[in-house]
Amino acid sequence: MRRFLSLGLLCLVLLSTAMTAQAQSDPSTPDDQAALALLSALDVNSYRDKGEAITAILQSDDERARDWLQALLDGRLQRADDGRFVLVLDNRGRDWPVADALTKESLGDMSRRDLDRIGINNALRNQLRSAIAVVDLYSPNVERRRSSADRLLGEVDGELAETLEPVIAEAEDDHVRMRLTQAVAIYRAEQGEMAGVEALTGSLHPRARVALGRAANSDDPIVADAAAAALAGIEQQLKINRGLETLYFGLSLGSVLVLAAIGLAITFGVMGVINMAHGELMMLGAYTTWMMQQLLPGQPGLALILSIPAGFMVAALVGIAIERGVIQFLKGRPLETLLATFGISLILQQLVRTVISPLNRTVVTPEWMSGSLVINDALSLTLNRMYVLGFALVVFAGLMLIMRRTRLGLEVRAVTQNRAMARSMGIRATRVDIMTFALGSGVAGLAGVALSQLTNVGPNLGQNYIIDSFMVVVFGGVGNLWGTLVAGLSLGIINQVLEPWAGAVLAKIIVLVFIILFIQKRPRGLFPQKGRAAEG
């Protein structure tokens, strides 16, 4: 079908299918004679002539053209001593299995000494690549057509441009048409043609920018000016896109920080203690995901979804154990609690190292979470980060609901504001402590599940987050979930904005220094609690 639409040169099509069967028994059919002639034209010394031969093959509309061109590109199209053209199937060892280039029949093994490679140079390689891409434009597979159109960007020369014009007109797929138009326009712009420059205006592809850059140096001042203007416009666009990308990465990092910090914010707000094992509870959540995937091999998506409740439960139970086993004995001694929970974090880390492995484990990203959302040539958003961002917001909303709408939330808020008063009003502070600790720990588990999709799952996973999480809590103000959200997201963004010009390490340092200075100005964070209770 696609051949009819093709270059519209030869019209042997009706015959060719009928004759292929015949060709196998009789090598001297007219079709094969023509093919042999095409291939023989390659076996010359002049690269110029070879180039013409390639063009001829491309235009021959032969079924086998793509294989020949690919083989030629890979150096597998060779001529045997007996004059036949063969495709080398595997060029390792001394004897190579080969197949006839015309019939594709296997010819058994041949000694490498009996074969003569048809050499090519770099110019020919480029020509071959675009030739193959042109052939692929007619593939029935839409993905293949798209990717071949993508490959043609910047590879178009005069002849190809003319070849492509009718293809563009007939292309069914929008993406293919857009790309081919760009490809031709790039060629035209490089030639200093106004039409090309105009067509490229607003295009964000790097090759388009290169072409416009050349056009800007054109002798024709009108074209040069237009190209320069187009370039400036593109730069502007790129800047915006880069900004958006930074914002996206910042939000993504921020969402991780929010997930990591929000559980900490709850336990710190209510009990006034820093749970240094919070990071390790995240680690347990991440390992739960890994474990689920081991239990459900081949179903990473289902395993991931089941990990959400499982990770929450595992972390929450460990959290309760920590609260009952250690923290309850250290009431009113926040610094000792900090030390004790640090000890627990060491034990948990070492436990994972001993029981599972000191090495990182791989958690599979399910199909529907991998890949990315392509917005344009300069901006694509990875899906896994988007899911984590969404997940963080859902977790936040859920916690908000618990805090605002449930009895537990009310009691937690009461204990946060004034412990003694809440207790005297009949709130069982101990029960609230256990529940909050379980909740905070469970959320850490959720954070771990999410994190398993973004980073390596290893025994040190949690360690890297405890300082950052605490910074978020301090920055946002204790006992205020909104503060944690705003602080987490903004710290994520600040980090990403700083990174390009300061480097990752320096960016981290700058953020730490910033927070230290920020506490100078506002010791109680972005959203402080006001009034008498907070003064105490």
Give the residues lining the site for another protein (CB under 8 A): 268, 272-274, 326, 329-330, 333-340, 342-347, 349-351, 353-354, 418, 421, 467, 470-471, 474, 505-506, 508-509, 512-513, 515-517, 519-521, 523, 530-533
Instruction: Give the β-pairing of 85-88 and 372-376.
Output: unpaired
Shortest distance (Å) from residue 451 CB to another protein:
19
**In the complex with another protein, which residue's Cβ is closer, 58 or 429?**
429
3-class SS at 85?
A: strand
* DSSP one-letter code for 406: S
**In the complex with another protein, which residue's Cβ is closer, 255 or 469?**
469
Q: What's the rounded Cα separation, in Å, for the pair 73 and 122?
A: 10
Shortest distance (Å) from residue 325 CB to another protein:
8
**In the complex with another protein, which residue's Cβ is closer, 154 or 279?**
279
Shortest distance (Å) from residue 378 CB to another protein:
31
**In the complex with another protein, which residue's Cβ is closer, 129 or 353?**
353
First vs last C-alpha separation in the chain: 83
Q: What's the rounded Cα separation, in Å, for the pair 357 and 203?
A: 49
Shortest distance (Å) from residue 530 CB to another protein:
5
Shortest distance (Å) from residue 248 CB to another protein:
25
**In the complex with another protein, which residue's Cβ is closer, 4 or 329?**
329
Q: Which residues have a Cβ under 8 Å from the Cβ of 17 and sit 6 or more positions away?
A: none
Shortest distance (Å) from residue 478 CB to another protein:
9
Q: 154's torsion region: left (phi>0), alpha (psi -120 to 50) or beta? A: left
Shortest distance (Å) from residue 448 CB to another protein:
20
Q: What's the rounded Cα separation, in Å, for the pair 31 and 13?
A: 11
Q: Which residues have a Cβ under 8 Å from the Cβ of 176 and sit 6 or more positions away?
A: 137, 145, 146, 149
Cα 170 to its chain centre, rounded Å, is 33
Q: What's the rounded Cα separation, in Å, for the pair 189 and 198?
A: 8
Shortest distance (Å) from residue 355 CB to another protein:
11
**In the complex with another protein, which residue's Cβ is closer, 279 or 300?**
279
**Alpha-helix residue ranges (DSSP H) falling in 138-220:** 142-151, 158-170, 174-190, 194-200, 206-216
**In the complex with another protein, which residue's Cβ is closer, 329 or 368?**
329
Radius of gyration over alpha carbons of the chain, in Å?
A: 33
Q: What's the rounded Cα separation, in Å, for the pair 315 and 313?
A: 6
Q: What's the rounded Cα separation, in Å, for the pair 220 and 214?
A: 12
Q: What's the rounded Cα separation, in Å, for the pair 158 and 178?
A: 19
**In the complex with another protein, which residue's Cβ is closer, 288 or 345?**
345
